[in-house]
Structure 1
Amino acid sequence: MDAMLQLAAQNLLSPIVLFFALGVAAALARSDLTVPEAVAKGMSIYLLFAIGFKGGVSVAAHGIDATLGLTLLAGVILSALLPFIAFFLLRLMSALSRTDAAAVAGHYGSISIVTFVAATSVLESAGVVSEGYMVAVAAAMEAPAILSALWLVSAGGKGRMDSALLREILLNGSIVLLVGSFAIGWLTGEEGLKEIESFIVAPFKGVLCLFLLDMGLVAGRGLKQGRAVLRPGPLAFGVLMPVVGSLFGLVAGLLIGLSTGGVLLLMVLSASASYIAVPAAMRVALPEANPSVYLTLSLGVTFPFNLTLGIPLYLAIATAATGG
C-alpha cells in the first residue's frame, strides 16, 4: 500500500499530470488560455506517429510469436465485451436512456491513446519494460467497441450500421496513422529509428505535456458544460468502470503471460475511454445520443481519474500480480 501511495504521489507531481491540471484549472477559472486547433492536431499527429513507430521497432526486435497473436485476440475480445458490461452498469446506476447508455458504453470498450501514452511514460520513468507490440493492440481495440454499442442500440430498434459507417470507423485518421507508423517502424527496425531518433525520442515528453495542457482545457470546459449530467450515478460509473475494465485486462494479461509492463498496458487499455474515434462514430450513427453525456464522462471524469490515480493503481496491482 505504501508503495502504491508513493507511486501515486510521484505521478500526481509529474509534469504530464501537472500540465493537465493546469489546463483544467485555467478552463474552470475562465482564462483565455487556448491552444490553436491546428497546433493541437499537429501534436496529436506527432504523438500517434511516435508511439506507433517505436512500437513497430520493438516488434521488429522481438519478432512475431504466439503471444503477440493471443494479445491481439484478447484486445479485440475485451473491446467487444466491455461495452456490454458498461451498458449493464449504466442501466443499473443511472436513469440514462438506452441510446445514451449504449453510446457511453461504446466509449468504455474503445481506448484513449493519450492515456496509453501516459502509461508508457510512467513505465519508462519507473524502468519497467513492456512488449512493444501493445501499440498494435491499442489500434485493434478501437473498432469492436463501436460495433458493440451499435448492436446494443439496434437491439432496441434504433441505430444505424452500414458499409459507409464501417469504412469510416476502420479508416479513422488516428487508426490509419497509428497502424501505418507501426508498420513502417516494423519494416525499418532499429536502423530506421536511428535516422529519426532525435525527432521522436527526446522531444516526446515535452510535446506530451503541451498536448495534455490542451486536453485539460478541453476537459475543464466539458465539466462546465456538462454539470447537468454529473449526477451521482453517472459520476460513480465514470470512476467504477475503468477499475472494472482494468481487472478484465489484468486477468487477460496474466493468462497470456505478459510482462509486468505488458499487463499494465493491457489494464490501461481496458480501463480507458475513447474521446476521439468513438465520439466521431456516434455523431454519425447515433445523432440522437447526447454528446454532453458521453464526452463529459469519458473526457471529464474517466480520463482525469486514470491519469492521476488509475495508472499508479493499475501498476501496483500489475506488479503485485506478476511479482515484477
Structure 2
Amino acid sequence: MGLDPVVLFFVFGLVAGLLRSELKLPAALYETLSIILLLAIGLHGGVELAEQASLQLLGQSALVLALGVLLPILAFVLLRGLRFDRINAAAVAAHYGSVSAGTFAVVVAYLVAREVAFESYMPLFVAILEIPAILVGIVLAKGITRDTHWGELGREIFLGKSIMLLLGGLVIGAIAGKEAIKPLEPLYTSMFKPVLAFFLLEMGLIASGQLGALKQFGLRLAGFALLMPLLGALIGALLARFMGLSLGGTAMLATLAASASYIAVPAAMRLALPEANPSLSLTASLGITFPFNILIGIPLYLALAERLIAWGF
C-alpha cells in the first residue's frame, strides 16, 4: 500500500516550502481547519466517552496522566546530557511531554484506512496529555517560585485554543450522545480526511521553514528530535499493553507519546519561560519530529504494537 494521500499533501507542502514556492494557505483558512479538526476529534471522543465511561477508563486516564509527567522528565535528562542549558532543555522537554493533535489526526486516518480498530475514547487521552508536561517543564526550569504567574499561565493552559476545543468537543459529544450528534457526524467521518489533507499541506509549508534552523542548532538537536519519539513510542506502547488496549489503541498511544506539541506548549512557554529560545523547540518538534512521525513513525509504531502483541505483552 502506498503513502496515504493526506501524507502526500504534507510532503507536497514540505517540498513546496523547501523550493521557496509562493504557495501559502490564507491564515484564516489554516485557523479554520485546525478548529474543525480539534472539534471533530473532541466530538467523536465525547460521543464514545458517554457510552464507555467506567472505573477502568478512570484508571487508564490516571496512567496516561503519569505518562505525561514521565515523558518531559525523560526528555529533559536527554537534553541535559546533550549539553543544552537548563532553561532551554526544560522548554523543549515540555513540548515532548505534550502531544500533537495534528499527529493524532493523522494516526486516526491511518488506522481507519487500514481498518485497524482502536478505542474510540482516545481523544480523552489527547486532552489529558496536553496539560502536565507544561507544568513539569516549568518546575524543571526553575522550580516552584513566586516569579511564575500561575494564574495567567493556568488561563493559557486551560483556556488555550487546543485544550478548549478538545474539551468543548468532548463535553458536547458526551452530553448530546450518538443519536443527537448524527447530523454532525460528517465532521469526523466523510469530512475528516479532506480537512486533514489541507491542514497537512499548510503544516508541510510551516515545517519547511523550521528546517533551516538546523544549521544553527546542529546534530545534537536533530539527534534528540529523532531519538525522543522512538523512546516515547516504546514507553507509550508498553503502557498501552499494560492498560489492555487493543492493537489500534496501542499504536495510537505510542504515537501520542512519540509526538510533540507545537500549539499549546509554545504559547504557554512564552509566558512561563520567556528567556527560552522558541526556535529550538519549534525546530525540533515541528521541523523534525512531526515530519518523522507522519512519514515514518506511525507505520513503525503500528508494527511495534503488532510485535508486542505477538510477543505476548
1:87 equivalent in structure 2 = 76
**From 110, 135, 138, the counterpart of 2:98:** 110
1:64 aligns with 2:53: yes
Percent pairwise identity: 46
Kindly indicate whether the alpha-carbon contact (under 8 Å) linking 2:4 and 2:110 is maintained by their aligned counterparts in 1.
Answer: no
**From 14, 29, 40, the counterpart of 1:50:** 40
**From 215, 232, 250, the counterpart of 1:263:** 250
Task: Please give the alpha-carbon distance, in whole angstroms, between the structure 2 residues aligned to 1:91 and 1:156.
Answer: 20
Kindly indicate whether the alpha-carbon contact (under 8 Å) linking 2:10 and 2:203 is maintained by their aligned counterparts in 1.
Answer: yes
1:171 equivalent in structure 2 = 159
1:295 aligns with 2:297: no
Kindly indicate whether the alpha-carbon contact (under 8 Å) linking 1:112 and 1:269 is maintained by their aligned counterparts in 2.
Answer: yes
Shift, 1:157, TM fit: 8.2
**From 122, 128, 139, the counterpart of 1:151:** 139
CA deviations 1:261-317 (Å, max 9, x no partner) are: 111111111110000000001111111111111000000000011111111111011
Kindly indicate whether the alpha-carbon contact (under 8 Å) linking 1:59 and 1:186 is maintained by their aligned counterparts in 2.
Answer: yes
CA deviations 1:158-212 (Å, max 9, x no partner) are: 9735222122211111111111111111222221232222344212101101000
AA of the residue aligned to 1:221? G
1:319 aligns with 2:306: yes
After superposition, the Cα gap between the structure-2 partners of 1:186 and 1:30, relative to the gap in structure 1 and judged at 3 Å, is same
1:100 equivalent in structure 2 = 88
Kindly indicate whether the alpha-carbon contact (under 8 Å) linking 1:153 and 1:159 is maintained by their aligned counterparts in 2.
Answer: no
AA of the residue aligned to 1:312? P
After superposition, the Cα gap between the structure-2 partners of 1:151 and 1:109, relative to the gap in structure 1 and judged at 3 Å, is same
Task: Please give the alpha-carbon distance, in whole angstroms, between the structure 2 residues aligned to 1:98 and 1:25.
Answer: 34
What TM-score, normalized by structure 1, do the two folds share?
0.92
With 251-260 and 105-114 compared, the bigger mean Cα shift is at: 251-260
Mind listing any 5+ residue stretches in structure 2 that lack a counterpart?
none
AA of the residue aligned to 1:185? G
Secondary structure of 1:303's counterpart equals helix
Kindly indicate whether the alpha-carbon contact (under 8 Å) linking 2:214 and 2:222 is maintained by their aligned counterparts in 1.
Answer: no
Alignment of 1:202-213 (within 5 A): 202-213=190-201
Secondary structure of 1:141's counterpart equals helix
1:31 aligns with 2:11: no
After superposition, the Cα gap between the structure-2 partners of 1:240 and 1:167, relative to the gap in structure 1 and judged at 3 Å, is same
AA of the residue aligned to 2:74? I
Alignment of 1:122-133 (within 5 A): 122-133=110-121
Task: Please give the alpha-carbon distance, in whole angstroms, between the structure 1 residues aligned to 2:146 and 2:277.
Answer: 15
After superposition, the Cα gap between the structure-2 partners of 1:317 and 1:199, relative to the gap in structure 1 and judged at 3 Å, is closer
Shift, 1:138, TM fit: 0.5
Secondary structure of 1:279's counterpart equals helix
Which aligned runs of 4 or more in structure 1 are off by greater than 6 angstroms? Answer: 156-159
Task: Please give the alpha-carbon distance, in whole angstroms, between the structure 2 residues aligned to 1:121 and 1:113.
Answer: 12
Task: Please give the alpha-carbon distance, in whole angstroms, between the structure 2 residues aligned to 1:299 and 1:157.
Answer: 30
2:176 equivalent in structure 1 = 188
Kindly indicate whether the alpha-carbon contact (under 8 Å) linking 2:186 and 2:192 is maintained by their aligned counterparts in 1.
Answer: no
In angstroms, what is the RMSD of aligned CA positions?
1.8
2:293 equivalent in structure 1 = 306
1:201 equivalent in structure 2 = 189
